[in-house]
A and B are shown apart, each in its own frame.
Chain A
Amino acid sequence: MNQELLVVRIGPYFFGAPVLAVAEILQLSDVTRIPRVPPQVAGIAVVRGLPLMVMTLSPALGLPAERMEFVLRWAGDRNTALVHVDEVVGLVQVDHPLPKDSWATLVPPAAANWVVDVYRWHDEWLWAWPEDLPQRLAAELTGGLKPGGSGWAAAPMAQGG
């Protein structure tokens, strides 16, 4: 199974995005943070006059929140969310994914939903994303699937009366 992946880096890890699923790579100057949302929501960025939600995988990977450098805009609906990455490395042809039982137990539960394949790439592992990554992330937000480790809760609302 021959597939072309866009290799991106988040912290020390490398991920592969199905290249046809990515519409563009944007360099962001400004992401407005939104209060009272789960930590996967990095904020809102304005792309050509359209406010779009920026998602980040850092909390699920146990990484600190970094300054946003690049985001990937997924193809399809122009309202789809953006996914933050630290660096875009390049394109790579992959085949022969590693057998699932060799890595499945290593993936943190919070990431299990969006790591579908693993490849050996140079001396790194390349964790491949599904084509519908933004949708899966959005489903986690609304479906109450909490990312491991962070245990976010909405800011407590003072209750009067």
Chain B
Amino acid sequence: MRFDEIRWDSEEERALFLEEAFELLGTLEEGALKTPPPIEAMFRAAHTLKGSGGMLGLTEWVERAHRLEDAIDRRGRPDWQWTPELQQLVLETVDALRAELSGAPADDRTALVRFDLRWSASCPMPGVRALQAYNAVSAAIPGTMSDPPVDRLGDWHGEVSVLWVPSVADVEEQVQALLAVVDDLVEVKRVDRALEAPHLTESPTDESQRPDRRDATLRISADTLEAIMEGIGELLLDHGQLEHRLGHALDSATRSVFEHMRRRALDLQDLTLRARMLPLDTLFRQYPRAVHDIARKLNKKIELKTQGGDTELDRVVMDRLHEPLLHLLRNACDHGIESPEERIQLGKPETGTVRLTAYAAQGHVHIQLEDDGRGIDWQKLRDKAEREGWMSHDEAERAREEELQDLLFRPGVSTRDQVTDLSGRGVGLDVVRAFLDEIHGAISVESRWGQGTTFHIELPMTMAIVTALIVEAGPWTVGFPIATVERIESVSVAGVKSALGHDAVSDRNTPLPVFSLTELLDPDQPHEDHYVVRVKDGRTQAALTVGEVTGQQEIVIKPVEGLTGLTPWLSGVALLGDGRLALVVDVRRLVPVTRSEGEALREDDVILLGSNQMELLVFRLNGDQRYGINVYKTREVLPATTVTRVAGQHPWLDGVVYVRGQALPVINLYRALDLDPQADSAPLLMVAEFNQTVQAFGVYEVEQMVRVGWDAVETLPDLMEGHNRFVTGLINHPTLGTIQLLDFEALLAAVAPPAPEAEPQLPPLGPEVTVWLADDSAVARQQVEKALASLGVTMRTFRDGTELLAAVRGEGARPDVVVLDVEMPKLDGYSVARQLKESAETAAIPIILHTSLSGKWQASRAQEIDADAVITKFDPGLLAATVVRLVAARPLSAVS
């Protein structure tokens, strides 16, 4: 019986079989292309395929799977080897089984020929001889099966054994020749008759080896997940509406039930969303085979290397990514990688490399596809641009590669004139871009002629749920994915000026254009704007003025059927809790092209890690004294609202304020810093996020943002250390005067001391292990020392990074672990880490970056740095465990 002849009891049964079979076939195929192949896993896969096929009565299927299982069974075969023939057998079997699943007609090309082997009656161990015979034949003709099965030949005593040999050309001559060297063999006889399936009963030992599939995972269809997702979304919506309707009528007990309900629903949503995330390996694993096949067809040698396959991506996105990615791979193999001869001539390695890399950063998944082939001939593209009239001669000659690359994505453009059957005419990069446009992804390309091409794809991590900033613009409620929002300021703070007629704000001294969101949507719409939202998405960067900022919300983006083609700037709509509909905009498609050109500005956009700089938000509390907070710690600045006092609160707390449904503690800086309490009602609330908590501080005025180097930060004079617990440094700014850097972490710790956590029992490391710590905060130094005390290590502390570096360099001492604060006067933690890692002598020292910066910015930046571990919250147990882990993992040479 073949697969398409089975009568299934239910569709589920069929789907389950298919799914399992495809997964196992994937394991086999992927394994066959690895070096070395994971034979055990492949064997188990073949075995399971055979078993489940047998239960259904799939005769050919079982026969194929059985042959494969035998061929890659190395139990009891010490001389078994993985050969190119075996690889081909695995791949062919996989193809044949897949073909059967897809309903292809029976193919008798691989029919088996039966050979009966008669052994001498005087042979003491015919089983061993039969095994010898099997080995000899199967090594030359993979797919050969033995009856009795190989694993039972050891104690087999009989006169006639059977070999089933694939009917290759001259099979009889080959088998006879191969068996000529085997002793005790009386006769080899080819038996021609209708193929009967060899008996395939399982030996009991096989049963125990069956991999246990009944572990705690369930397969669940994407549709079901989708339905759960929608359901939770609706639930949240209902909650929002109820809360809105009942509003202030709620007493606190009911409110807390409401809040609990909301939180549970959000957790569930999160969980479901995560269940939708799949590692990119699910996709990547298909490609080695594709590249293998393409390379064979093109007579090229190409190796595909993949990296970052554990990066997770929403399966909805992933499903749609397959085609474009495959197309790019084909392109790379076909147009990019040269023929082996050409490569040798060029002095390149004969085998071309295609590298597929994935990583996540800034709310997006990035995929890079890089080949070391011939690259893009930009000159040819210039000629084409001129010929087609896209650019004038001058323009084409002057155009930079970034400007030219846009042309690559036009229909009908190929960088190579030849058209092959692989990357045929008609399907070009324009299709790839269109695909990506649909899922709000982006693609760019870099290429050096003669050296290779890199495509860079950027994808939203998930399409369904985003945290969005909700604003009002004229009559509309608009949502921006929070990942694109850089900063929110009130118009009065932002300092909008006219730059030769166009509104602009200063962005690190360069003008950033200001647009009214309402006007972008509809130029005729009257509006009054109070806030400036700076947005950045890819290369698009602008400041948008909006009426009001409503808040930050988790929203479910829903597409509107029929509108998608009309409104490329609209990612979809979202239903808010109060019943309103928010338009979720795609910043890149709404904001007119602004800063995409200035390459220099782009470099400058983000403070480079290790550049030893920070951006400081400068504010005043009273008088003229200015204070600073690292911008990465701030979330937003709001007008002060009602603060609810909580009984028994810490004297430095004003109480609790509700910001977007989240209750935040308000810390009174006047009381904490012992300042004149003139303004108990500070007009502004500065919301800050660090130590993985969010809190608000009342401030008098937020002035501006300045970029300062850490080297400009002076530590307090020694005399004052110990008294001023909450000031970590001073900056003498040329125009603003002295700015005091407040130790917000210490302030927070004073108000809410970290709960003593049950420390896990860690094995003490002993005093011979030295841990060096650089932190400008005395409180932090003390806390870290305390956290590591139980390890019994020798601690040495430094007040800033330069002191630590000086000790490393001057004394030649090598600590076993270095713990660095990120924000430190003179030299920040990134820079210290970089300098340590750049020197061969100190590169091996494990570094832990210990930072309170826990906002979304930090999460994405932390991945880019050189540290061995990053801890974004003061957690004594985690810190100690990390030290233990790093000490255990250090290379042997580093152990003194």
Residues of A within 8 A of B (CB): 30, 32-38, 41, 44, 46, 49-53, 77, 79-81, 138, 141-142, 155-161
Contact = CB atoms under 8 A, between A and B. Distances in A.
Contact of A160 (B230, B525, B579, B592): B592
B856 interface: no
Interface in B58-109: none
A150 to B, nearest CB: 15
Contact of A141 (B523, B558, B562, B594): B562
Interface centre among A38, A49, A156 (most CB of B within 10 A): A49
B563 interface: yes
B234 interface: yes
B237 interface: yes
A111 to B, nearest CB: 19
Nearest to A48: B234
Given A34-B570, A141-B566, A161-B594, A155 B560 contact: no
A41 B561 CA distance: 12
A15 B20 CA distance: 56
3 cross-chain pairs, A with B, having the tightest CB-CB distances, nearest first: A35-B521, A79-B561, A35-B522
A87 B572 CA distance: 30
A82 to B, nearest CB: 10
Interface in B670-685: none
22 contacts: A30-B579, A32-B573, A32-B580, A33-B475, A35-B476, A36-B569, A44-B573, A46-B575, A46-B581, A51-B558, A51-B573, A53-B560, A53-B561, A53-B563, A141-B562, A141-B565, A142-B565, A155-B520, A159-B593, A161-B593, A161-B596, A161-B597
B523 to A, nearest CB: 6
A156 B572 CA distance: 21
A47 to B, nearest CB: 11
A32 B581 contact: yes
B625 interface: no
B690 interface: no
Given A51-B581, A155-B523, A38 B566 contact: yes
Nearest to B598: A161
Given A35-B476, A37-B567, A38-B566, A49 B234 contact: yes
Nearest to A45: B581
Contacts of A36: 521-522, 567, 569
B235 to A, nearest CB: 11
Contacts of A37: 563, 566-567
Contact of B575 (A51, A138, A141): A51
A120 B572 CA distance: 43
A44 B581 contact: yes
A46 B567 CA distance: 18
Contact of B567 (A30, A34, A156, A158): A34
Contacts of A32: 476, 573, 580-581, 583
Interface in B506-523: 513, 515, 520-523
Interface in B779-833: none
The main secondary structure of chain A at its interface with chain B is loop
A154 to B, nearest CB: 9
Nearest to B475: A33
Given A35-B476, A51-B558, A159 B592 contact: yes
A138 B562 contact: yes
A124 to B, nearest CB: 31
Contacts of A52: 560-561
Contact of B594 (A81, A142, A160): A160
Nearest to A32: B581
Contacts of B579: 30
A158 B515 contact: yes
Nearest to B573: A51
B499 to A, nearest CB: 12
Given A46-B581, A142-B565, 11 more contacts: A32-B573, A35-B525, A41-B566, A50-B558, A51-B575, A79-B561, A138-B562, A155-B520, A160-B593, A161-B593, A161-B594
A18 to B, nearest CB: 20
B561 A80 contact: yes
B803 to A, nearest CB: 47
Contact of B560 (A49, A51, A157): A51
Contacts of A49: 230, 233-234, 237, 575
Interface string B859-886: 0000000000000000000000000000
Interface of B: 230, 233-234, 237, 475-476, 513, 515, 520-523, 525, 558, 560-563, 565-567, 569-570, 572-573, 575, 579-581, 583, 592-597
A77 B562 CA distance: 12
A38 B563 CA distance: 10
Interface centre among B558, B560, B580, B597 (most CB of A within 10 A): B560
Nearest to A37: B566
Contacts of B233: 49
B565 to A, nearest CB: 5
A30 B233 CA distance: 21
B581 A41 contact: no
Contacts of A161: 593-597
Nearest to A159: B592
Contacts of B572: 51
B543 to A, nearest CB: 13
A138 B563 CA distance: 9
Contacts of A33: 475-476
B471 to A, nearest CB: 15
B740 to A, nearest CB: 40
Contacts of B237: 49
Contacts of B566: 37-38, 41, 141-142
Contacts of B558: 50-51
A161 B403 CA distance: 12
Interface centre among B520, B525, B566 (most CB of A within 10 A): B566
A52 to B, nearest CB: 7
A81 B593 contact: no
Contacts of A34: 563, 567, 570, 583
Contacts of A38: 566
A77 B593 CA distance: 38
A145 B618 CA distance: 56
B522 A155 contact: yes
Contacts of A142: 565-566
A136 B368 CA distance: 42
B695 to A, nearest CB: 36
Contact of A81 (B234, B525, B562, B569): B562
A160 B522 contact: no
Nearest to A80: B561
Contact of B563 (A30, A41, A80, A160): A41
Contacts of B560: 44, 51-53
A81 B520 CA distance: 26
A155 B521 contact: yes
B593 to A, nearest CB: 5
A62 B572 CA distance: 30
Given A44-B573, A49-B234, A51-B573, A156 B563 contact: no
A156 B520 CA distance: 9
Nearest to A38: B566
B380 to A, nearest CB: 26
